[in-house]
Amino acid sequence: MGMCTPRTLLAEGGQPISTAASVAVIRLPASVNSWAAGLFENHWFLWATLLLVAAALAWRGWDQANRRWLGAGAIIAALTALWFLIAALVVTPRERLIAANQAVVRAAANDNPAGILHFLAPTAVVGTWPRNRAGPEISIRLDAAHITSNFIRTLRVRIHGRRARVLLVVWTQTRDMGPFVTAWRILWRDHPRPGNWRIVQLDLLSVNSHALPPGASIPMVPW
């Protein structure tokens, strides 16, 4: 769970960019994603249900002076609390990936090209640009766009081992050019060092629902 990345960002419909700080201390590698999500990501409904069951058992035990019911309620409550605590200290590969996408979108909104370049792998390709050219090109476009806010509308994540594919749709408000919506396909790889996901391929798929040709460079003006 990690308490660092809103799970709602996985769903379509648009969620604001959060700046909540992470309290997670255990970062799981992508190789354990298949079972980590089932154990350590948010299970609020299940946790609440278990606590209600524990309360019901404890109340019945107290009402009937039955130590067995009281003990069962206490054990369920304790195990649920332990599960929640462990989940709060663990950040799963999916949560790390969502947080990385979140940080890239926030960096663009803050006109911070360094914040975007931080997530590019040494061999990353942005459209048709290699990494060494992507930095200056991204800076020029951010300076021209004057972005005032970014808003994630869709964030679809597929993780396969240490690689992941993301479909990211962002609603962007600019100072001079008005709003526009962009769709991106981002290929990520989980690097043991520095210990987080890094972008290996970033492609702009469409602007305002107008598809771009495969491998197209990011245009200076979004329409």
Closest CA to 91 of 146, 29, 172: 29
Would you list the domain boundaries of the chain?
A: 42-90, 92-211
* CA–CA gap between residue 90 and residue 108 (Å, rounded): 28
Task: Choose the CATH number for 92-211 among 3.40.50.410, 3.40.50.720, 3.40.120.10, 3.10.450.50.
Answer: 3.10.450.50
User: Exposed, middle or buried by CB within 10 Å (0-12, 13-18, 19+), for 171?
Assistant: middle
* CA–CA gap between residue 137 and residue 218 (Å, rounded): 9
Rounded mean pLDDT of the chain?
Answer: 81
Q: What is the DSSP letter of 213?
A: P
pLDDT range class, residue 8, cuts 50, 70, 90:
very low
pLDDT for position 30? 64
CA 173 to mean position of chain CA atoms: 21
pLDDT range class, residue 16, cuts 50, 70, 90:
very low
Q: What is the dihedral of CA 28, 159, 4, 117, to 10 degrees?
A: 100
Pairing of strands 163-174, 147-160: antiparallel
- H or E element: which one contains 89? helix 67-89
Average pLDDT in the 93-110 region? 92
Asked if residue 164 lies in contact with residue 157, where contact means CB atoms within 8 angstroms, the answer is: yes
218: left (phi over 0), alpha (psi -120 to 50) or beta: beta
**61-82 tens-digit pLDDT:** 888 888 888 888 888 889 888 8
Report percent pLDDT > 70 for the chain: 78
pLDDT for position 215? 73
pLDDT range class, residue 101, cuts 50, 70, 90:
very high
pLDDT for position 209? 87
User: Exposed, middle or buried by CB within 10 Å (0-12, 13-18, 19+), for 82?
Assistant: exposed
Q: What is the DSSP letter of 191?
A: E
pLDDT for position 157? 93
pLDDT at 85 over 90: no
CB atoms under 10 Å from CB of 192, counted, come to: 9
pTM above 0.75?
Answer: no
